[in-house]
C-alpha cells in the first residue's frame, strides 16, 4: 500500500508537485495520466526514493521512503522512463548483475528463468543489450524491475517509443503483472491508461485534478449532455439567446464554418433536452439551424478539459470536501518559500552534474 500526503516538490521556485495526496491499495493498477511536464516522473521519482520531496510524506507499506529508504525500496521495482540498462552487457550478465546488486535471495537460475519467461526475453538471453529492439530493451528493463520480486511496480511511460505491436505486448504484460503486483504506471496517453488501469489519477501542472476509477470517471462525464448546433445568425446574439434557455450550463462558439455560420457547443444540465426550445427561439429570429447533434462527453473530453482549459474538474474518489483544502493550500504553495532550502539547492546541483 502506498500513502502519499501533502507531497510537494519544488525545483528552485518551480512547483513540480503541488500538495499531492493519494492512497494506492494492494493489487490496484493505477495510471498517472497527464501531459508532459505535469509532474508524473517527479512523483514517481519521489515514491521510489530516487529524489527527495520538499515537503510531505510518502509511505511504502507503512515505511517512510525518506526515513528508511533501503527498507522501503525493497518493496518497489522501478522502471524509469529511460530503462537503466548497461548496453554492452548481455541480457544474462545484466540480469545477474542486478540480481547481485539487489542481494536477491531467491534461487538464482529458476528465478531469472521465470522472469525471462514472463517478460518474453528468453530468446535474447545471450544477446548484447545494445543490439536489441526498443521493445526488447523495455522488457529487459521490466525484468530488472521484477528481480527481488517486489510487491509494487512503478513504471514510467512504459510504452513510450514502441511500435503498435510492441505496445500491445507490453500492455498485456502489465495486465498480467497486475495480477500479482500493485502497479503504478504513467502515461500522457489516455487510451493507454484506459486499456490497462482500474483507476486513473489525472495530474496537471503538479496538481491532482481527478482521481477515480476509469469506469466512474467515464460515467460521471457522460451524464453531462452536450449539443453541437450549427446556426446561421449573428454570433453575439445567438450566444445571448442560447444562454437564455433554461437548462443551459455553458455555450461556446467554434470557428466560423460557412460565412456567418458557427458551430455552438452547448452543455446542458443532466436530463434536460433543450432542442425544441432552441429551435423555437432560433426560428423566431429568422435564423437557420443547419445542423444539430447531441454528443456524450467522453473520458478524452474530460482529460482535455482538465489539461487544456482553465477550469479544473475534480472527481475525488475518497473525500470531496478534503479536496477544497488541497486546492487552497496548493495556491499557497505557489507563494510559499519552500521549507527545505538546502535540499533544493542540492537537487539543482545534481541537475548540473547530470547534465
Ligand atoms: P512529467 O513526467 O509529467 O512529464 P516531470 O515530473 O518530469 O513531468 O516534470 C514536472 C516539471 O518539473 C516540469 O515542468 C519539468 O520541467 C520540471 N522538472 C523536472 N525535473 C526537473 C529538474 N531536475 N530540475 C528542474 N526542473 C525539473
Ligand atoms: Mg515523465
> Which of 262, 277, 294 delimits the end of a domain?
294
Determine, yes or no, domain membership for 130. Answer: no
**Residues 229 and 216 placed together within one structural domain of the fold:** no
The Cα 19–Cα 206 span in angstroms is 8
pTM above 0.75?
no
Determine, yes or no, domain membership for 236. Answer: yes
The pLDDT score that the predictor gives to residue 166 is 87
Determine, yes or no, domain membership for 171. Answer: yes
Q: For residue 257, which phi and psi values (nearest 5 degrees)?
A: -90, -60
The Cα 192–Cα 104 span in angstroms is 32
Kindly give the distance from the C-alpha atom of residue 14 to the centroid of ligand 2, in angstroms, as a whole number: 16
**Residues 6 and 69 placed together within one structural domain of the fold:** yes
CATH of residue 315's domain is: 3.40.50.300
The pLDDT score that the predictor gives to residue 227 is 87
**Residues 165 and 260 placed together within one structural domain of the fold:** no
The pLDDT score that the predictor gives to residue 220 is 61
**Residues 71 and 156 placed together within one structural domain of the fold:** yes
The ranges of the chain with pLDDT < 70 are 218-224, 296-299, 301-302, 305-306, 308-355
Q: Which ligand is nearest to the CA of 160?
A: 2
Determine, yes or no, domain membership for 120. Answer: no
**Residues 51 and 177 placed together within one structural domain of the fold:** yes
**Residues 310 and 288 placed together within one structural domain of the fold:** no
Structure-block grid coordinates of residue 68: 528508511
**Residues 15 and 62 placed together within one structural domain of the fold:** yes
**Residues 274 and 290 placed together within one structural domain of the fold:** yes
The pLDDT score that the predictor gives to residue 338 is 42
**Residues 241 and 341 placed together within one structural domain of the fold:** no
| Residue ranges making up the domain that contains 284 | 223-294
The Cα 129–Cα 100 span in angstroms is 18
**Residues 271 and 311 placed together within one structural domain of the fold:** no
> Which of 277, 294, 311 delimits the end of a domain?
294
Domain count, the chain: 2
**Residues 70 and 155 placed together within one structural domain of the fold:** yes
Determine, yes or no, domain membership for 256. Answer: yes
Ligand 1 atom at minimal distance to the Cα of residue 34: 3
Atom 5 in ligand 1: residue holding the nearest Cα? 39
Structure confidence by residue, pLDDT tens digits, 153-186:
999 999 988 888 889 989 999 999 999 999 999 9
**Residues 166 and 276 placed together within one structural domain of the fold:** no
Strand, coil or helix: 228: strand
Cβ–ligand 1 contact at 16 (below 6 Å): yes
What is the DSSP-derived secondary structure letter of residue 128? Answer: B
| Residue 255 zone, left/alpha/beta (φ > 0; ψ -120 to 50; rest) | beta
Cβ–ligand 1 contact at 42 (below 6 Å): yes
Determine, yes or no, domain membership for 204. Answer: yes
Amino acid at each position: 500500500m502506498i500513502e502519499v500526503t501533502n507531497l510537494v516538490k519544488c525545483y528552485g521556485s518551480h512547483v513540480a508537485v503541488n500538495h499531492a495526496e493519494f492512497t494506492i491499495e494492494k493489487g490496484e493498477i493505477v495510471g498517472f495520466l497527464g501531459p508532459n511536464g505535469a509532474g508524473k516522473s517527479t512523483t514517481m521519482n519521489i515514491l521510489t526514493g530516487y529524489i527527495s520531496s520538499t515537503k510531505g510524506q510518502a509511505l511504502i507499506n507503512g515505511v517512510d521512503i525518506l526515513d528508511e529508504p533501503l527498507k522501503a525500496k525493497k518493496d518497489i521495482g522501478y522502471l524509469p522512463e529511460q530503462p537503466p540498462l548497461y548496453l554492452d552487457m548481455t541480457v544474462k550478465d545484466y540480469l545477474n548483475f542486478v540480481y547481485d546488486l539487489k542481494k536477491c535471495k531467491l534461487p538464482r537460475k529458476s528465478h531469472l528463468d521465470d522472469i525471462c519467461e514472463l517478460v518474453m526475453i528468453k530468446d535474447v538471453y545471450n544477446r548484447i543489450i545494445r543490439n536489441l529492439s526498443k521493445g526488447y530493451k523495455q522488457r529487459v528493463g521490466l525484468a530488472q524491475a521484477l528481480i527481488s520480486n517486489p510487491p509494487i511496480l512503478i513504471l514510467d511511460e512504459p510504452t513510450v517509443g514502441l511500435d503498435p505491436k510492441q505496445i500491445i505486448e507490453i500492455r498485456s504484460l502489465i495486465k498480467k503483472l497486475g495480477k500479482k503486483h500493485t502497479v503504478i504506471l504513467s502515461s500522457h496517453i489516455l487510451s493507454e491508461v484506459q486499456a490497462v488501469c482500474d483507476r486513473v489519477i489525472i495530474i496537471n501542472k503538479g496538481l491532482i485534478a481527478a482521481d477515480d476509477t476509469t469506469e466512474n470517471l467515464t460515467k460521471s462525464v457522460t451524464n453531462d449532455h452536450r449539443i453541437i448546433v450549427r446556426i446561421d445568425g449573428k454570433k453575439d446574439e445567438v450566444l445571448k439567446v442560447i444562454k437564455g434557455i433554461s437548462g443551459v450550463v455553458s455555450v461556446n462558439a467554434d470557428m466560423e464554418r460557412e460565412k456567418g455560420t458557427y458551430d455552438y457547443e452547448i452543455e446542458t444540465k443532466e436530463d434536460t433536452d433543450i432542442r425544441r426550445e432552441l429551435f423555437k427561439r432560433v426560428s423566431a429570429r429568422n435564423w437557420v439551424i443547419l445542423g444539430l447533434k447531441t454528443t456524450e462527453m467522453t473520458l478524452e473530453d474530460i482529460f482535455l478539459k482538465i489539461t487544456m482549459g482553465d477550469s479544473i474538474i475534480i472527481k475525488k474518489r475518497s473525500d470531496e470536501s478534503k479536496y477544497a483544502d488541497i486546492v487552497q493550500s496548493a495556491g499557497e504553495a505557489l507563494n510559499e518559500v519552500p521549507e527545505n532550502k538546502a535540499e533544493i539547492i542540492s537537487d539543482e546541483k545534481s541537475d548540473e552534474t547530470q547534465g
